[in-house]
Amino acid sequence: MAAVLSGRDFIVFSDDWGRHPFSCQHIMQHFLPQNRILWVNTIGMRLPRLTTYDVKRAVEKIVSWTVPASGSEQSLPEGLRVIAPVMIPFSTVSVARAFNRWSVTRSVQAAMREWGMRDPVLLTTQPLASEFVGSLGESAVVYYCVDDFANWPDMNIPEFVQSLEEKLLDQAELVVAVSDHLVRTRPARKGQTRLLTHGVDLEHFRRARTVAVRAAVDGPMTSPVIGFFGLLDNRMDWGLVSSLVERRPEWTFVFIGNAQVPLVELTRFGNFRHVPAVSYEELPGHAAAFDVAILPYVVDVSTAGISPLKLKEYLALDIPVVTTPLPGVMEFREILYMAAGAEEFDAAIMGALQTGRKQHQSDWIEREAWVMKAEILSRWIDSLLLQKRSVA
């Protein structure tokens, strides 16, 4: 059990609990069961389009509004409740925003009364939560800034998202950012902005070392296997990936995750495999097939603030990692293979295959466990609450 504060109530606005592994769930689960958490599943931060991905997500959201979000209480950790208030995605429209404020506030207040919650700490990863601050009796507001949402690929309402985030930065008494870029560009107006990089579930990913039978991938695979897992979107350098796949037919490239971009140009190559997103529990088994893991992201404004969660998960696999020179990975540059452009990236993968993981990789990653991140966040929140009590 993490050495965190206890006996506190939290309201958390973030991605859907249990849908996929993400930083807020990883870190907040270490606050259980010694604290109570009311988790509020929210809508996305952009207007939906008529795409397969968006239609599927819309259906999932509608189902979550008609079926209790918590499911069976026995399926959730002790001290956690999950709600999914009805929300209209077209939140730039004033009438829709007013409905969302009413719907969310009503749902959260009802859950708080039922659970007997008082003076909760409001923690959010979503700028959208700025709409509800002040109506929930919160004792403190913490913005856990995990990404630059206004500059996400395909973001179609960047000015609106930025306005919500500016409002939240005015409200938050503690801003916790996952990268140096986000620390510099998200100053808290009422308190501090502090750096807390992503963590990793070390034991979970180290299971890949002992997997007896590697998870099957459709079609034959020849070694070596160059792997990636995570969301496949426009932040990735698909020209670089295509060049690598084409120039190295003797390597197998396995990409695991939901695709928000068409992969037709890649699937025509016999050495490219796409595996749809697998559960977090199954992920180490699939990743056990990797000889080298890669982070082939573009380096531009859309990736300036990201701190790839998967980087530390790759490192915990105890395999070499090749990446483009993202600002968010520079902290680990001594234990990474770094390259820009197809030729350099190809040479870096070859070097990783020949040399193996960098020296001290295991030592570095030992310090990055989620439980340690939770203890740091807990100290900051506890200090904030003590400071507010002393002022009062």
Least trusted range by pLDDT, from 157-161, 253-257, 283-287, 373-377: 157-161
Mean pLDDT across 182-208? 93
pLDDT over threshold 60, residue 292: yes
**Structural fold of domain 202-366:** Rossmann fold (3.40.50)
Q: What is the SS3 assignment for the chain?
A: CCCCCCCCEEEEEECCCCCCCCHHHHHHHHHCCCCEEEEEECCCCCCCCCCHHHHHHHHHHHHHHHCCCCCCHHHCCCCEEEECCCCCCCCCCHHHHHHHHHHHHHHHHHHHHHHCCCCCEEEECCHHHHHCCCCCCCCEEEEEECCCHHHCCCCCCHHHHHHHHHHHHHHCCEEEECCHHHHHHCCCCCCEEEECCCCECHHHHHHHHHCCCCCCCCCCCCCCEEEEECCECCCECHHHHHHHHHHCCCCEEEEECCECCCCHHHHCCCCEEEECCCCCCCHHHHHCCCCEEEECECCCCCCCCCCCHHHHHHHHCCCCEEECCCHHHHHHHHHCEECCCHHHHHHHHHHHHHHCCCCCHHHHHHCCEHHHHHHHHHHHHHHHHHHHHHHC
Mean pLDDT across 289-295? 95
Residue 223's pLDDT is what?
85
Mean pLDDT across 303-315? 90
Residue 19's pLDDT is what?
79
Least trusted range by pLDDT, from 219-228, 311-320, 335-344: 219-228
pLDDT over threshold 90, residue 29: yes
Do 9-199+369-391 and 202-366 have matching folds?
Answer: yes
pLDDT band at 88 (very low <50, low <70, confident <90, very high): confident
pTM of the model: 0.86
pLDDT over threshold 70, residue 48: no
Least trusted range by pLDDT, from 27-36, 125-134, 211-220, 274-283: 211-220
pLDDT over threshold 50, residue 316: yes
Give domain 9-199+369-391's CATH superfamily.
Glycogen Phosphorylase B; (3.40.50.2000)
pLDDT band at 18 (very low <50, low <70, confident <90, very high): confident
Instruction: Delimit the domains of the chain by residue range.
Output: 9-199+369-391, 202-366
Most confident among 16-20, 93-97, 200-204, 238-242 (mean pLDDT): 238-242
pLDDT over threshold 80, residue 362: yes
Percentage of the chain modeled with pLDDT above 70: 88
